[in-house]
Amino acid sequence: MGTVTASLFVLLVLLPLPIAHLLLPKRDWSETLLGAFLIGTGSQSAIGLVWSHVVGHAPGTEAAVYLCLLTGGSLFSFLSPRLRQSVQRIFTKDWIKSAFPLLLVLIAAFAVRSIHPLQTAALGQSDAYTHLHYLRHLSEHGKIFNIVYPAGYHWLLALPVLLFGLDPYLVARFAGAFFGTALVLAIYVVLERLVNRRPALLGSFCAACFPGMNILIKTGIGAFANQFGLLLIPCILYLYALLAEKKEGNILGLTLLFIIALLGLAASVPMMLLHIFIIFLIERLVALLRTRRQWLRQTLFLILLCLPAVLLASFHFWQAGSGQRFNTARVLIQYGGEEKATTEKVVHKVQQVSKKTSVTHNKYVEIVLASPYFQLVVDFFTIKRFGFGNFFIDLMGWALLALYLICLGYGVFRQHIGITILGTWGALTTVQASSGFLQFSSYQREGWSLLVATCCLSGVLAGLVYDRIGQYRVMRGSVSLCMFVIACWEVLHPPGHPTLQSSAESLLIESVRFVGESKGKTDSQQECNHGTDNPLCGLLGVFTEDLPLTIVTRYFVGWQNQGDIVPNVLPPESPVTALTVNSSRGITESFTPDRQYLVLLDREKVLQPQDIVSAFAMVAPSQVESVFRQQRYLYRANKKIASYLLSLPKKEWYIEKKALSKNLTAYAVVPRR
């Protein structure tokens, strides 16, 4: 795990750090560190996305281009006398005193997010293995096979794979803690710059290890593009606030950083650009009410800064082709419910009006109404629910909405753009999460954004309370003690993802990688003799040295075999191959005597509603039910595999069975000679 984290830190933070010092003079170390992170991630994801579409091969060359560009920029930055002055200012005598509390929070955040990946080999969420599949394919071919999916985030993960030769599986397993800790740093910087240091420390602590934020913390367990988009949201909003005020002396540096951060979001999670732009729009309307002086000039300036990100996202979707865009639109509304009735009402009204027009015009109207793009627009603006169906959660939602509206009003009254943006951000996401308004049915991620905003709000409110009680030494000590106890509790009871793909997901992966990492029977047996605690050791003696090995399992995913477990967790250079069996067809390719087989069958796990994140089940119940149906269907393949093993002639095949655990059974299938 340390190798993955260190490689990401060196490539994405340490390398662009001199550039960040140059663009952000007179800043403390935390803001400079975040600026370096934004430069590294934003530039690599944008370069990588363009590379995928324009070049489409030689991924190692892309990594070399990134390395040369940032190394050149850093060397140029070293020549600036302003950089040396900035570094000298940061590392003053008071540096350790001011940095120590934040360092403790960041260490706690990293520790909490690291425990679960160290305890289990399973990657977690439903699409984790799809992202691993994308990462492996991109590292080999310079693009991912699902061309409509933005590959910016996967180019970030590919850097240590391409430059340091790390295993993609290990990167996907351990990279989440790095990006999750970056989110905590982002919250600190946002609050420290827009409010002050005390709310920043309390708000970042809330995101780091407060048990009430476990749903948010779990986004840092595993590597997902949405997680990267979440941490960019507060960064972009903080840069937007500084640029809108124009009180900073270094507008050029902030402008470049703002553009790079938006490009990173467009290259990795372009859907979140909609969320960001809606916040910008509301803030601009509020600013028009507050002051009209130079409003048009500021608005045009901000629109121009957003233009590169819009062009990059448009370029990506244009390159995907009309067929892929059409299918993506259908996927985004496939779990819809309420919006379908709304669409029918709109279609009926439009048809009534169009009857009075010409036949040619009627045809165009019918084509538009039947298009998934039209249904997508209706879906986006449809109110899909009223609350979460839980009285206490709905009550919390109303309370949050009231608090955010108070923040918005206070910010407008005091002309404090930071509080204004926080109120706008929180109020919008509260409405979106509780109603589904301004979201797509199959992509409702604004609830995560609401949690990030709530961490910021909690920091502001906790800071106000601390200002009242902080004058008493006993109260200050009590607050510090409570924070320490909470952090210890979270470390002892870390959050984790449920294993949805298999009842033996972790052991299955450990077994597959144990076999795949061993180049032959001799190597495997030597590891077993040296005390390797793997239940497969007792079965290795059955296999021969001279025959290639194939691992046979069922399919674990149902989406066009994107990201099935076994083929993607095998080490890249492993001679072991994988055969995955479909639930409907069974084993279509008969076992051949020139190969030997390791068959792994997991016991069926009946998923329960509590196995899914409860908040997600509330906002997308149809999608959760679809997961249940899919898993029940995929488990059927095990019966067909077992039936096939029984049909093998005993004179030709030797089969030995071993229970690796109560949920996983292994069969060694070797041809007789």
The three-state (H, E, C) secondary structure of 10-24, written as one string: HHHHHCCHHHHHHHC
**Distances 176 to 124, 159, 220, 224 between C-alpha atoms, Å:** 11, 15, 5, 7
Query: Is-contact 205 463, C-beta < 8 A?
Result: no
Q: Distances in Å between the alpha carbon of 253 and those of 19, 27, 242, 243, 426?
A: 10, 12, 11, 10, 28
Low-confidence ranges of the chain (pLDDT < 70): 25-26, 80-97, 124-126, 247-249, 331-370, 519-533, 558-561, 607-627
Q: How many CB atoms lie within 10 A of CB 668?
A: 21
How many other CB atoms are found less than 10 A from the CB of residue 177?
Answer: 27
Helices (H), 142-175: 152-164, 168-174
Residue type, 59: P
Helix 473-492 × helix 95-119 angle, to 10° = 20
Give CA–CA dist 508/120, Å, rounded. 11
Query: What is the distance between the alpha carbons of residues 595 and 671, in angstroms, rounded to a whole number?
Result: 8
Determine the pLDDT at residue 237.
94
Q: Supply the angle between the helices 359-370 and 372-381 in degrees, to the nearest 10.
A: 60
Cβ(511)–Cβ(489) under 8 Å? no
pLDDT of residue 92: 57
- Interatomic CA distance for residues 519 and 532, integer angstroms: 16
| Structure confidence at residue 194 (pLDDT) | 85
Query: Is 315 in a helix, a strand, or coil?
Result: helix
Angle of CA points 114, 9, 228, to nearest 5° = 65
Please state the φ and ψ torsions of residue 28, each to the nearest 5 degrees: -80, 175
